[in-house]
Amino acid sequence: MGFLSTEQIGTILAGRWMRSPHQAVIEPHGISTDTRRGVAGRCFLALAGERYDAHDCLQQAIDGGASMLVLQADRCPDSVPGDCPVLLVEDTRVALWSLAEYWRSQLQATVVAITGSAGKTTVRRMLQAILERADERSATGGVTASEKSFNNELGVPLTILRARQSDRFLVLEVGTNETGELARLGALVRPDLAAITNIAHAHLEGLGSLEGVADEKASLLSFLAPDATAIVPADDGGPLRPAVERSLPQGVQIVDFGVDSGALALVKRHCLEASGLQEFTLSDGFTARLRLPGAYNSMNALVALGLARSLEIADGVIMEALSELIPDSMRFSSEALGGSGTMLYNDAYNSNPDALHAALETFGELTADAPRRVVIVGDMMELGAEAPALHAAFADQLMAVHHKTPIDVVVLIGPLMRHCGDRLEALNFGNLVAMMTELDDGLVESISSLISTGDTVLVKGSRSMHLERVAEAIRARVDVETGELTTTV
């Protein structure tokens, strides 16, 4: 079957027909929950949350060509537009999961689950590129993978429901911000192969401590079959390996990775260009080039390598796919502005203490020959009670990089970054130019005006800080004729 029929959806959800299927019904070829992302020929499932209610968008769903509606009984209007079948259920979020659970049971694909505090999306992109290249050569099956960061209790079931029965592989990015979320997702996903990229001080509001992060990430592995494989970081004496050993079913094989340690041991890495191009070598001789910058991305590549080898993909295919992958927007993507030597590194998609440290180290590595370096950083969110101390600790990391590769201008944005600023002042760091608690249009322009032609700039912060506005303002100052940055007034 291509997808579930209207009648099958009704049976799986045990709902009540407000408008029954008729002979002329167009059977759905998928599920949609967002009228902005295309609903034509799909079953539109109206989700409701604290800040939105898709039941307000039923006319758009009908106008967009939805073949069926699944609505929540207590939110359904008295009159529903169109003439397509309408099924009423008690809870549309539960309905989404019920459909995903059933569809997962029908898939023949090998299911890969990737979790970790950072690097999930990058490893998913790497593995997806590898598998798609392998699929092109074998002309068998197909690959479905998470879109963007569809890694939560809505994104994961939606990705499962996008998978085709003909797929050879389903690659799922699986995230969490509270204890127990990965166990719920793991039970839904039931992975055949899983990886943990790393653990870090992230989502501490919901996970409590680094030990809590380790336990939560490791819980995903408990859903592996006894003959499965888990790709995990080499034991560094921290809390992750004990958590893995507590969660891992008997018989699951561990393939670990690290710098000079583990089954996948990185023994050599060097940066080739300021754009971030690098080359790395493993102890077994595997060598690849990577356009994604930084030591942390070489670690991500080891995870993807371990997963791909577990899926019996040839090393040559892996090397080719890795060499062609380019950075995602706002994930340490580099951009030469004009032709004047101004370089912007935009890493404003998200941030946590470990990711910020890694970005700063990478910035220092790539900019050794830059005439002037500017670092613009914003608050890191969801760190709980440790937030002030973790922001203050960034000052010491910045100073360590500064002593190796001088940083000429630092701009701190957000109330939590005040703790970093206070620490920098205590350390007598003289290049702290500005501290601001919030970001409005005027301040965006003020920050942009600090950048001169030839500068090298890093922009980094949590997604909710919207620091991409700063990057856009800097980019907007490039004169299209001269390539230089115009002077702001």
> Where does residue 170 rank: exposed (0-12), middle (13-18), buried (19+ CB within 10 A)?
buried
**Buried/exposed 428-449: b ≥16 CB within 10 Å, e otherwise:** ebeebeebbeebeeebbbebbe
What confidence tens digit (pLDDT) does each residue in 334-362 have? 999 988 789 999 999 999 999 999 999 99
Strands 16-19 and 31-32: unpaired
* 183 sits in which H/E element: helix 181-189
The predicted pLDDT at position 164 comes to: 95
- Banded pLDDT at 489 (limits 50, 70, 90): very low
Between CA 297 and CA 300 the distance in angstroms is 5
What confidence tens digit (pLDDT) does each residue in 4-41 have? 999 999 999 999 999 999 876 789 999 999 999 889 99
What confidence tens digit (pLDDT) does each residue in 95-146 have? 999 999 999 999 999 999 999 999 999 999 999 999 999 988 666 679 999 9
What confidence tens digit (pLDDT) does each residue in 260-291 have? 999 999 999 999 998 999 999 999 999 999 99
- Tell me what percent of the residues of the chain surpass a pLDDT of 70: 98
| SS3 label, residue 291 | coil
- Banded pLDDT at 156 (limits 50, 70, 90): very high
Q: How much is the mean pLDDT over the chain?
A: 94
Strands ordered across the beta sheet of 43-45: 16-19, 86-89, 68-72, 43-45, 31-32
Is the model's pLDDT at 470 over the cut of 80?
Answer: yes
Rounded to 5 degrees, φ, ψ at 71 are -125, 155
* φ/ψ bin of 321: left (φ > 0), alpha (ψ from -120 to 50), beta (otherwise): alpha
Between CA 352 and CA 380 the distance in angstroms is 5
What confidence tens digit (pLDDT) does each residue in 388-434 have? 999 999 999 999 999 999 999 999 999 999 999 999 999 999 998 89
Q: Kindly report the pTM of this predicted structure.
A: 0.92
The predicted pLDDT at position 37 comes to: 86
Domains and CATH numbers, the chain: 6-91 (3.40.1390.10), 107-324 (3.40.1190.10), 333-476 (3.90.190.20)
Q: Which stretch of 97-101, 148-152, 371-375 has the lowest confidence by average pLDDT?
A: 148-152
> Where does residue 306 rank: exposed (0-12), middle (13-18), buried (19+ CB within 10 A)?
buried
Handedness of CA 101, 107, 110, 116 (dihedral sign): negative
Q: Residue 198's closest CA among 114, 324, 305, 98?
A: 114
